[in-house]
Chain A
Amino acid sequence: EGGHGPYQPHEPGYGLDQPGYSPYEDEIPDAQARMLAIKNAKAYLLKTSTKSGLNVYDHFATILTKILDEQPANTVDIIETISQDVKWAQFRKKMDTLRDEHLIPPTFEAAEKCKALFIKETGEEEHEELDEEMGEPALPNVMETAFYFEQAGIGLSKDECYYIFLAFKNLISVQPIQTCRFWGKILGLEMNYIIAEVQLREGEEEEEREEEEEETVAEEEKEMGEGEEEEEQKEKEPEPPKSTYKPPPEIPKEANGTGTNKYVYFVCNEPGKPWVKLPPVTPAQIVCARQIKKFFTGRLDAPIVSFPPFPGNEANYLRAQIARISAGTHVSPTGFYQFPEDEEEEEGGDTYEENPEFEPPPVAEMVESLAMWAHHVKGILKQGRCVWINPAQKSEEDEEEGEEEEEEEEEERQEETGQPLLTLISEDEGMKNIPAWTAQASTNLIPEYSIAILQSNRWPGAYAFASGRKFENIYFGWGHKYSPESHTPTLPPPAEAEFPSEPGITEAADPTVEEELAFKAAQEEALAEDEEEEEEEGEDD
């Protein structure tokens, strides 16, 4: 008002400073009344809200300050959000006086665990000496493998891979390990498993075997002792008829270091958690694992409720699945491994060594024909082992009755042969019309650096790659075999007959009264006849 000076007639503001002509006509002309109106308006704006203790005036002031400070783009579009943010900020400020208890976020706790992985060990000098003795580095280069698999589109995130790498380093420093490999990751319901395939140094394995033998001997002695007590008790009571059911002789598991137990496996739920060793697998477990299909929960001591009842808990089931997957899907380029020359092939040589003269075939060939790949793990027979064993030979505690029967059964059970080691995977059967393996090159655009990738269709989640001399197998998945038909659980067997049918036990209807009378009459007749005969004979005399 009047601050612009008198306007000349040709200027736009001319005449507007006269009262009555100003653009703001609806304003109260009287200065005093205007001041009062302004005061009233301000008082209204300052009125405190009953709900939150804020008032519109302060709120607007804060918003405007914020807008002028930050100067965001498109302010009018986000004005509501700004208003909400300011209100939220107000809320927080008021709570400061109370000082919430400092909640430790779980991210922090997890980071603490991982921190242990990152700490360098103090005994570094000793480790360096050991490394020189052993020659080959035992620590697998997880990051390199991860890089190759990433080209195929498979793998874990770089972060996780690095954590796994560090966890492996820990494992090696704790356990006496000769070679070690990242086997893969199996998903579970509550937690996942990260699995390391390991070969322990030789001395350690023998120690374990001795321990196991001692345990089994102690158990046998215990059983014998108990058996004697039971027999004494039984003599007193009349025994119920003994069942003729004899469980099939237990097939002994393969020794550590051969066949299915060639490698020892360690698992952990997450990198940073302690590594747990999985027990060696028994053939009975493998046979049962073939018949059931269960999710892993993530806890190693969880029981497996299934039919046929699985002998063991989740740790055993996990080990059995790992054995099956390894036997089914671990492959290498043909020729990379060869039998040592002095080994007879008839025995189904279990050992193989690297072929120093191996020339890696070009990637295109590896993709086109599956004959360029070969299994380097022995397949598992139906019995559950890699090497067939005749269980009748080993049974030393036979009872006297069964010898003849067993001899007959021996003839029936034929020796099972599986595929010998180093068979080409082109001989793997597919299911229906699905081939067992799918091969691809990682990229068609840069053939010089592409790698050959194999996906297994029998075990979805098993992958292998090869590039020049490097190759690797890995598994990421749920741990189940693929079957085109749905899984049908085995039906329970028909209930066994409890007792063999003997005259003393079998039921028979009691003879009716007429039958009894008839029988009695017949008997009397027979007696009478006899008497008559005797009388006759007597008379004859």
Chain B
Amino acid sequence: SLNCLDWSLLTPATEEVLALAEEVKGRFQGDPSFEYSLAEINPEAAARLVQSGKEPVMKEEARLIATIEQIDRAVGIVPRGAFVKTPLGSVHENRHFEGLSLVEAKKLSSYFHFTEPTNLKNKTLLEKADLDPSTDFLNSLEHDIPQGKGSWSIQLEKGGSVVVLRSLLWLGLTFYHVPMTKQFGYVYFGTGEKNLDLPFML
């Protein structure tokens, strides 16, 4: 929506569109029907599209969808314990989640990416023993590259009553959580561009 009054539904993105959208750089124009000429950016993809009968352009709408999907996948995070996995494999909200404690809230390891877990099997046996399979089934934030400081900035605001995590990879993604309560969430305000200079900036 451009004016918070008229909303249009976005169709989910396919993998091709996602890959293409990563090539397009620069700011968004603000017009969903603006077309990026792919011939300049990626001539191979343009050629492929032309062969399959479509025009070598990418609409801003598609780029928008792809960007949203990328952001959700890369930096959509939830606190530990907010979601549980049943033995059958389905994941749903934990109604008894009462929030993290203050001590836990300051640690990066108490937040998880809300996507398919990739590196759970790589952990050492020691770590696996501590895990609780119903709550620890997602990737933790600790292992986000770059190692060490990671790509997150974690701060306590208002004297410790709110913990705010900001992503450094997608500048503008802010996650908040009020410890000892059920409130958490994340929003994105920004230009919609990935921060590829992250390794130089830390």
* A residues in contact (CB < 8 Å) with B: 84, 105-111, 114, 159, 187-192, 292-295, 432-434, 457, 460, 478, 480, 482, 484-487, 489
A144 to B96 CA separation, bound complex (whole angstroms): 43
Which residue of B102, B160, B168 is within 8 Å of A295 (Cβ)? B168
Q: Given the complex, which residues of B lie within 8 Å of A434, measured CB to CB?
A: 26-27
Residue of B nearest to A432 (CB): B26
Which residue of B102, B153, B191, B196 is within 8 Å of A106 (Cβ)? B102
Which residue of A107, A110, A295, A457 is within 8 Å of B202 (Cβ)? A295
Judging by beta carbons under 8 Å apart, are A107 and B197 in contact? Answer: no
Which residue of B190, B200, B202 is within 8 Å of A489 (Cβ)? B200
B166, CB-defined interface residue at 8 Å: yes
Judging by beta carbons under 8 Å apart, are B197 and A106 in contact? Answer: no
Which residue of B27, B96, B153, B197 is within 8 Å of A189 (Cβ)? B153
Q: A106-B102, A189-B149, A457-B27 are in contact. Are A487 and B197 (CB under 8 A)?
A: yes
Chain B window 134-178, contacts with chain A (Cβ cutoff 8 Å), 1 for yes, 0 for no: 000000000000000100010110111100001010010000000
A448 to B14 CA separation, bound complex (whole angstroms): 46
Q: Given the complex, which residues of B lie within 8 Å of A105, measured CB to CB?
A: 102, 160
List 21 A-B residue pairs with CB atoms under 8 Å apart, sorted by A's residue number: A105-B102, A105-B160, A106-B102, A106-B156, A106-B159, A106-B160, A107-B160, A107-B161, A110-B158, A110-B159, A188-B153, A189-B153, A293-B200, A294-B202, A295-B202, A434-B27, A457-B27, A460-B191, A478-B171, A486-B196, A487-B200
Judging by beta carbons under 8 Å apart, are A192 and B160 in contact? Answer: no
CB distance from B43 to the nearest CB of A (A): 19
Residue of A nearest to B191 (CB): A460
Judging by beta carbons under 8 Å apart, are B153 and A190 in contact? Answer: yes
A73 to B25 CA separation, bound complex (whole angstroms): 55
Known: A106-B102, A107-B161, A484-B26. 13 other contacts (CB 8 A): A105-B160, A107-B158, A107-B159, A108-B159, A109-B159, A110-B158, A114-B159, A294-B201, A295-B153, A485-B25, A486-B196, A486-B197, A489-B200
* B residues in contact (CB < 8 Å) with A: 25-27, 96, 102, 149, 153, 155-156, 158-161, 166, 168, 171, 190-191, 196-197, 200-202
Q: A189-B149, A478-B171 are in contact. Are A111 and B197 (CB under 8 A)?
A: no
The binding surface of chain A is classed by DSSP as: loop
Q: Given the complex, which residues of A lie within 8 Å of B171, measured CB to CB?
A: 478
Q: Given the complex, which residues of A lie within 8 Å of B149, measured CB to CB?
A: 189
Which residue of B102, B155, B197 is within 8 Å of A192 (Cβ)? B155
A188 to B201 CA separation, bound complex (whole angstroms): 12
A101 to B190 CA separation, bound complex (whole angstroms): 45
CB distance from B108 to the nearest CB of A (A): 12
Give the 5 A-B residue pairs with the shortest CB-CB distance, closest first. Answer: A110-B159, A106-B160, A107-B159, A487-B197, A189-B153
Q: Given the complex, which residues of B lie within 8 Å of A84, measured CB to CB?
A: 96
CB distance from B2 to the nearest CB of A (A): 12
Q: Given the complex, which residues of B lie within 8 Å of A114, measured CB to CB?
A: 159
Q: Given the complex, which residues of A lie within 8 Å of B25, measured CB to CB?
A: 484-485
Q: Given the complex, which residues of A lie within 8 Å of B158, measured CB to CB?
A: 107, 110, 159
CB distance from B64 to the nearest CB of A (A): 17
Judging by beta carbons under 8 Å apart, are B27 and A187 in contact? Answer: no
CB distance from B104 to the nearest CB of A (A): 14
A486 to B193 CA separation, bound complex (whole angstroms): 11
A482 to B196 CA separation, bound complex (whole angstroms): 12
Judging by beta carbons under 8 Å apart, are A293 and B197 in contact? Answer: yes
Q: A293-B201, A295-B168, A487-B200 are in contact. Are A187 and B153 (CB under 8 A)?
A: yes
Q: Given the complex, which residues of A lie within 8 Å of B191, measured CB to CB?
A: 460, 482
CB distance from B135 to the nearest CB of A (A): 17
Q: Given the complex, which residues of B lie within 8 Å of A480, measured CB to CB?
A: 201
Judging by beta carbons under 8 Å apart, are B160 and A187 in contact? Answer: no
Residue of B nearest to A111 (CB): B159
A191 to B201 CA separation, bound complex (whole angstroms): 16
CB distance from B26 to the nearest CB of A (A): 5
Q: A105-B160, A484-B25 are in contact. Are A187 and B202 (CB under 8 A)?
A: no
Q: Given the complex, which residues of B lie within 8 Å of A159, measured CB to CB?
A: 158
Q: A106-B102, A106-B156 are in contact. Are A295 and B201 (CB under 8 A)?
A: yes
A330 to B31 CA separation, bound complex (whole angstroms): 28
CB distance from B113 to the nearest CB of A (A): 20
Residue of B nearest to A489 (CB): B200
CB distance from A17 to the nearest CB of B (A): 47
A339 to B172 CA separation, bound complex (whole angstroms): 40
Judging by beta carbons under 8 Å apart, are B200 and A110 in contact? Answer: no
A436 to B27 CA separation, bound complex (whole angstroms): 12
Residue of A nearest to B190 (CB): A460
Q: Given the complex, which residues of B lie within 8 Å of A485, measured CB to CB?
A: 25
A22 to B88 CA separation, bound complex (whole angstroms): 47
CB distance from B164 to the nearest CB of A (A): 10
A159 to B190 CA separation, bound complex (whole angstroms): 23
Judging by beta carbons under 8 Å apart, are A190 and B155 in contact? Answer: yes
CB distance from A423 to the nearest CB of B (A): 24
Q: Given the complex, which residues of A lie within 8 Å of B197, measured CB to CB?
A: 293, 486-487
A478 to B190 CA separation, bound complex (whole angstroms): 12
A485 to B26 CA separation, bound complex (whole angstroms): 8
A105 to B168 CA separation, bound complex (whole angstroms): 29
Q: Given the complex, which residues of A lie within 8 Å of B155, measured CB to CB?
A: 190-192
Q: Given the complex, which residues of A lie within 8 Å of B159, measured CB to CB?
A: 106-111, 114
Judging by beta carbons under 8 Å apart, are B166 and A187 in contact? Answer: yes
Q: Given the complex, which residues of A lie within 8 Å of B200, measured CB to CB?
A: 292-294, 487, 489
A122 to B132 CA separation, bound complex (whole angstroms): 58
Q: Given the complex, which residues of B lie within 8 Å of A191, measured CB to CB?
A: 155
Q: Given the complex, which residues of B lie within 8 Å of A489, measured CB to CB?
A: 200
CB distance from A222 to the nearest CB of B (A): 37
Residue of B nearest to A457 (CB): B27
Q: Given the complex, which residues of A lie within 8 Å of B153, measured CB to CB?
A: 187-190, 295
A468 to B190 CA separation, bound complex (whole angstroms): 29
A114 to B166 CA separation, bound complex (whole angstroms): 24
Residue of A nearest to B201 (CB): A295
